Amino acid sequence: MENFKKLGLIEPILKSIDEQRFTEPSEIQENAIPLVLEGRDVVAGSATGSGKTLVFGSGIIQNSVKGRGIQALVLTPTRELAEQVAESLRGFSRYKPLKVVPVYGGVAIGPQFRELKTADVVVGTPGRILDHISRGSINLTRVNILVFDEADRMLDMGFVRDVEKITKECPQKRQTLLFSATISGDISRITHKYMIDPVEVSVESYIDSSKLEQVYYDVPDSLKFSLLVHLLKEESAAMVMVFCNSQRNTDFVAGNLKNNGIDSLAIHGGFSQDKRTRVMKQFNAQKRVYVLVCTDVAARGLDIKGVSHVYNYDIPRESKTYIHRIGRTARAGEEGKAISILSERDYDNFTKVMRDRSLKVDKEEMPRVEKVKIVRMDSPGRGGRSSGHSSGSRGPRNFRGSGGNRGTRTSENSRDSGRSGSSRNSSSSRRFSKPTRNSRNNNRHSSSGTQN
């Protein structure tokens, strides 16, 4: 607690930190909080889970007074992150109460009208904030702190013009804080245009790459899902995230895991906001369900603690997304494991991911796997014939560096530019080799039943 006190935090914040049992500030907190409290504009490189909410929260809480209108605006890329940030700010301001209002789409706008009338801090997504601006239901003329949280993802999702429009609605005389895992051209333009003499703070990854094991399995198409079931039953895991590239595959995997005795939950952009909120509450309760099957879009910005394993059931199309996925585990000194399951249709994407020479992913031998039964879900939005459940395996082909993943039609934008420190892995790059036909055939375990 003494180390937090040295950063210049006021007593009400220190008391809430103590109650939440934080003992030592993270690197981003140690480097950036004093600058924020000085009133400087700050550009900070940080990933989800690095402790950045306390960084900008310290300035918001310290410089806001209850009942004086909206004095701080935090822009986030997703609804879930808006809720998460709002909840954290409420916790940090427990002993200096402020009304923190999350504002996002996908829910009724009426209650937000009422809440905004007495809000001190607003945390919202660009689209819904602009909606309120156009309706005249939000007053940003008293904002003294503007925060861009996970700015790279926000701009990747096409919000650059929205962000600029919102920024122009805020007073020119204000403090601006920007948090981003990467600094793109759009972000540099925003910092030069809307920030005053910003201080850049760059920190090492919050993820300890020495504690993160990365492996891949090369499997026949017909055994892809069976291997996932086998590993989930055999691995000693705390909480697990399974990533898919499409809504269909997310539904397929989650539904068939349940059919095979593994409690799981699915979350993707096809769900209503209420359903997504219920899913996250249930998963974070950590009572019975420990497997979350998700798309990249739905998982953006979610800080889920205690994830021990990350599975790539579908391989992403670029290393940035892969790095963001595996950054969900091996946090705060804990060990973690990232497992990629490759079938033939994943080779092109995996080749692209492995062009990032900072990654070291070791090949694991295919264990003896019993084929499990699956249920095909071919109605719209309820599953699909995607990677891992084709009608059979045609054998391996050469790994190539061009072309896309032809096996999965993505119904959500799975692009994600969040980077984790795994990208800074000092180990040399390990190119994966094309499996021979014999080795692939030796790994097949034939059995009767539905192919998957």
Residue finishing a domain among 160, 183, 202: 202
Highest mean pLDDT among 3-17, 263-277, 409-423: 3-17
Residue 449 lies in a domain: no
**366 pLDDT above the threshold of 50:** yes
| Residue 436 falls inside a structural domain | yes
Give phi and psi for 51, each to the nearest 5: 95, 20
Q: Which amino acid is at 285?
A: A
Supply the CATH number for residue 125's domain: 3.40.50.300
Residue bearing the bigger pLDDT, 47 or 315 = 315
Are 239 and 165 part of one and the same domain? no
Q: Is the CB of residue 341 less than 8 Å from the CB of residue 278? A: no
Region 89-93 average pLDDT: 97
The full length of the chain comes to 452
Top mean-pLDDT range of 15-29, 54-68, 192-206, 410-424: 54-68
Task: Tell whether 57 is covered by a domain.
Answer: yes
Model confidence at 383: pLDDT above 50: no
Q: Which amino acid is at 143?
A: V
Residue 405 clears pLDDT 70, i.e. is over it:
no
Q: Are 163 and 223 in the same domain?
A: no
Q: Is residue 428, in this structure, part of any structural domain at all?
A: yes
Q: Could you tell me if residue 249 is inside a domain? A: yes
Q: Is the pLDDT of residue 385 over 50?
A: no
Regarding whether 165 and 116 lie in a shared domain, the answer is yes
Contact 381, 246 (CB under 8 A): no
**From CA 383, how far away is CA 241, in angstroms rounded?**
18
pLDDT of residue 390 exceeding 70 = no
Of 202, 236, 262, which marks where a domain is finished? 202
Are residue 244 and residue 285 in the same domain, yes or no? yes
Give the chain's radius of gyration (CA, Å).
Answer: 23
Residue 362 in domain:
yes
Tokens coding 365: 């031998």
Give the position of tokens 């934008």: 413
Does 448 reside within a domain?
Answer: no
Contact between 203 and 31 under an 8 Å Cβ cutoff? The reply is: yes
Domain membership of residue 85 (yes or no) is yes
Confidence of residue 303 (pLDDT cuts 50, 70, 90): low
Burial readout 189-222 (b: 16 or more C-beta within 10 A, e: otherwise) = ebbeebbeebeebebebbbbbeebbbebbbbbbb
Count of C-beta atoms within a 10 Å radius of residue 363? 14
Please answer whether residues 378 and 252 qualify as being in contact, where contact means their C-beta atoms are separated by less than 8 angstroms: no
User: Are residue 96 and residue 148 in the same domain, yes or no?
Assistant: yes
Q: Which two tokens stand for residue 4?
A: 């937090």
What mean pLDDT comes out for the span 98-118? Answer: 96
Whether residues 113 and 261 fall in one domain: no
Supply the pLDDT for residue 32. 96
Banded model confidence at residue 172, pLDDT cuts 50, 70, 90: very high
Q: What is the pLDDT of residues 281-292, one digit of tens each?
A: 888 876 677 899
Residue 410 has pLDDT above 90, yes or no: no
Instruction: Return the beta strands (E) in 132-189 as ranges.
Output: 145-148, 175-180
pLDDT of residue 36: 98
Total domains in the chain come to 2
The domain boundary, picked from 145, 180, 202, lies at 202
Whether residues 335 and 300 share a domain: the answer is yes
Model confidence pTM above 0.75: no
Question: Looking at the structure, do residues 61 and 184 belong to the same domain, yes or no?
Answer: yes
Range of the domain at 241: 209-442
Are 53 and 158 in a shared domain?
yes
Check whether residue 195 and residue 217 sit in a common domain. Answer: no
Residues 191 and 324 in one domain: no
- Say if residue 267 is in the same domain as residue 410: yes
